A and B are shown apart, each in its own frame.
Chain A
């Protein structure tokens, strides 16, 4: 019995090879491939689309995807209720969604990290002021803020980015501050002070590199969050306004037709799932790869 299980475990050369690539090696090939592909798609979306993603064709409305009954290769993922090609809209939506995520994380991450470093290192009233403000922003309903802004200045790409960044900076600040507080008391920071290093030098040279791991992981995890919140905002009409295709918008557009044309919501939904999942896995890998304890000499 034991020998049989061992044999089954060892498997054939193909299975061993596959296991080596996908399980033993630490690089998450599939998610990493999806992340890279998503970035390429976002950049070259204009060349990749099969149809004009905005072109309405009432004659081709609600066509099913190729693998469903009545589908054809002409529209591989089917069409929506206005006859727009879903695949082309997902491709262009990749650019919109990832741009929003990137802009949000860049903006919120920079502001949040800077304020978190300041709060953690300086302490005292500076810390209290920054962190209570952060708490306020975390407690503030971002959807409500987005609705107010959408009504007053009109919904746009930048409204979404600013609303997301307003919440995101607080998350970065809180996390970074916590790390700084822990690092500040460490002996190597004390010794840097003994060596005559100035405050900014200690923060940027000794503390920041130790926070980078956490930052990288938070960044990759927030890609998924940004895409999902952007989807909710678009669903409420406070997101990127139509006709610009966004994944969240596409999901909400198709909701009324789920029984007759399930693919309209499902396809962009799968895209969200795939991207969020992939970015999270890559985030885990980045964390491990950045850990010097695991790095070889």
Chain B
């Protein structure tokens, strides 16, 4: 492992562009996304539906739907290795072994006709080449690790015997089978109810602490962000508009979109107030705007915002893409 310095990010994404190709033309769904993910860190990727979060995650693994979409530019590096130049066979050495992923709906993430054991075995055979007794023990250990009661019986069960929370933990166990260094969690708790969600987040945290896992945590739930993430990247219309430490972001959001997003989080203590919502719709990916894509919905928008897109401005570990912060970052 070429670990040069401790500050080398596990994952380094630079100006990633994934375009959709359809009859309506070319859609700039991921339009220049950059972020770093370090070991032991959880980076939140936040944004509304359709802003390109999931496609970004899939693009990192080069599993974006083809031929409907294609990565057309940018860089994805894992410990410095450029993943975009790897062959399909080389990529398979990264998937599951270095970078793993869990998806939103645990009810659909497991193969309904294979037992939990078979699905764990498959990952273990694929990644660790285990067999026989060792295989079974490793599978039991994984189930134990994700706190499935009676792991030995769990191996023989089918997915439909398990509840949603248990299934998501099994999905987690399968994702951890290859001892990955990075876990991409694409809204892993959205389909779970609140108490189960809490359990699952706690489990993820404890696994992260044991393994020093870097987690890319996609969500649109700020309560989960506050609970899980060290840093947050806010995504809008295919771009990351602001990146900051979680505390900083909550205390002093800079980008008008982040501010609006935080204002629209319902507050239980003020229940008679009307919920805040951002007027208008995000622009279509098929008709990108020449300027800042948030300009039509932004109260601070000027002529300049509408004509040219703001570059990210870096300062004090945070980054914001907005003309408002050009002089005083």
Contacts and interface: CB of A to CB of B under 8 A. Distances in A.
Interface in B115-156: 122-123, 126-127, 156
B95 A194 contact: yes
Interface in B34-49: none
Interface stretch (B73-81, B100-108, B221-229): B100-108
B95 A209 contact: no
A187 interface: yes
Contacts of B53: none
B302 interface: no
A100 to B, nearest CB: 31
Interface stretch (A5-13, A134-142, A195-203, A267-275): A195-203
B274 to A, nearest CB: 37
Chain A interface helix/strand/loop/mixed: helix
Interface in B241-264: none
A195 B95 contact: yes
Question: Which of the listed residues A192, A198, A205, A293 has the most CB atoms from chain B within 10 Å of its own CB?
Answer: A192
Size range of the interface on A? Answer: 20 to 34
A209 B113 contact: yes
B67 A195 contact: no
B63 interface: yes
Interface string A242-281: 0000000000000000000000000000000000000000
B109 interface: yes
A194 B63 CA distance: 7
A292 interface: yes
A193 interface: yes
A133 interface: no
A138 B105 CA distance: 39
A216 to B, nearest CB: 12
A191 B103 contact: yes
B260 to A, nearest CB: 32
Contacts of A194: 61, 63, 95-96, 100-101, 175
B174 A195 contact: yes
B108 A188 contact: yes
Interface string A173-213: 00000000000001110111111111000000110011010
Contacts of A297: 156-158, 161
Contact of A210 (B63, B94, B112): B112
A190 B123 contact: no
Nearest to B99: A194
B26 interface: no
Contact of A187 (B67, B105, B177): B105
B111 interface: yes
Nearest to A123: B67
A33 B7 CA distance: 72
Nearest to B184: A194
Nearest to B160: A293
Contacts of B61: 194
Contact of B92 (A190, A196, A212, A292): A196
Given A186-B108, A190-B103, A210-B111, A196 B174 contact: no
B114 A191 contact: no
Contacts of A197: 92, 122, 126
A209 B158 CA distance: 14
Contacts of B240: none
Interface string B49-85: 0000000000001010001000000000000000000
Contact of A188 (B92, B111, B175, B177): B111
Nearest to B106: A187
B108 A195 contact: no
Nearest to B115: A292
A205 B122 contact: yes
A246 to B, nearest CB: 38
A155 to B, nearest CB: 42
Interface in B268-304: none
A124 interface: yes
B127 A196 contact: yes
A190 B126 contact: no
Given A190-B63, A194-B61, A196-B97, A209 B114 contact: yes
Contacts of A212: 113
Interface string A95-136: 000000000000000000000000000001000000000000
A292 B92 CA distance: 30
B171 interface: yes
B110 interface: yes
Contacts of A195: 95-96, 100, 122-123, 126-127, 174-175, 177-178
A205 B102 CA distance: 20
A292 B91 CA distance: 34
B163 interface: no
B93 interface: yes
Contact of B109 (A124, A191, A193, A209): A191
Nearest to B171: A191
Contacts of B114: 206, 209
Contact of A196 (B67, B93, B103, B108): B93
A196 B113 contact: no
8 contacts: A188-B109, A193-B63, A195-B122, A195-B174, A195-B178, A197-B126, A198-B92, A297-B161
Pairs A-B, 9 closest by C-beta atoms: A196-B95, A195-B96, A196-B96, A196-B92, A187-B108, A194-B101, A188-B111, A187-B109, A209-B113
